[in-house]
Amino acid sequence: MKKTFFLILVIFFYTFSAFGNPNGKGLICKCIKCILENDILYKSYDLDMKELIVYFDNGAASAWTFKRVNDEILRGGLVPVEYKANISKITWLWFELDRETLTLKTVYPNSNIRKCTLFSNKDKLDSAAYDLFLKYQNQLNSKLKKNKINY
């Protein structure tokens, strides 16, 4: 009986602590208030591609977005960077994520604000990111069809 109680207690605390761990989770963050001139994603605004995609793994945050290169939409990103987490926020580089509201602020060089959607694992994040990629590539393809020299 004591062993069973101890086992249940250990599993409860392990599950509770793992629930709050950002590793293995991802975010897609959409601009709410972004200043174009100072935003790190300014090159991607020509198709209104303002989402920042973030994945937490092994104590590091990887962030990327889509960018247009000639007639293609490509993924451009930052190398994984160690993050710091406390009970209310996760910070890395110049980003600060409010863990309760999932609001992402860029604290340097400006104060852009993004609202994030949480994805519980990499597969779900990759699927949603792929849907965004298709959306933007299709928008670009539609614009290119009007050209005499198109894709």
5, part of any domain? no
**For position 7, what pLDDT does the model report?**
35
Q: What percent of the chain has pLDDT over 70?
A: 75
87-138 confidence digits (pLDDT tens): 999 999 889 999 999 999 987 766 789 999 999 999 999 999 999 999 999 9
Q: Please check whether residue 124 lies inside any domain of the structure.
A: yes
Residue 39 falls inside a structural domain: yes
The verdict on residue 96 lying in a domain is yes
> Is 13 within the bounds of a domain?
no
Instruction: Quick: pLDDT tens for 13-35.
Output: 333 333 468 999 999 999 888 87
So what's the pLDDT on residue 15? 34
Write down the mean pLDDT value for the chain. Answer: 80
Q: Flag whether 2 is in a domain.
A: no
**Cα 97 from chain centroid (whole Å):** 10
Instruction: Give the integer Cα–Cα distance in Å for 24 and 15.
Output: 15
Domain count across the chain: 1
Tokens of residue 53, six digits = 């995609």
- Give me the domain span that covers residue 77: 23-145
The pLDDT tens digits for 57-95 are 999 999 988 888 888 888 887 789 999 999 999 999 889
Checking if the pLDDT of 12 tops 70, the result is no
What pLDDT does 24 receive?
Answer: 95
pLDDT of residue 39: 62
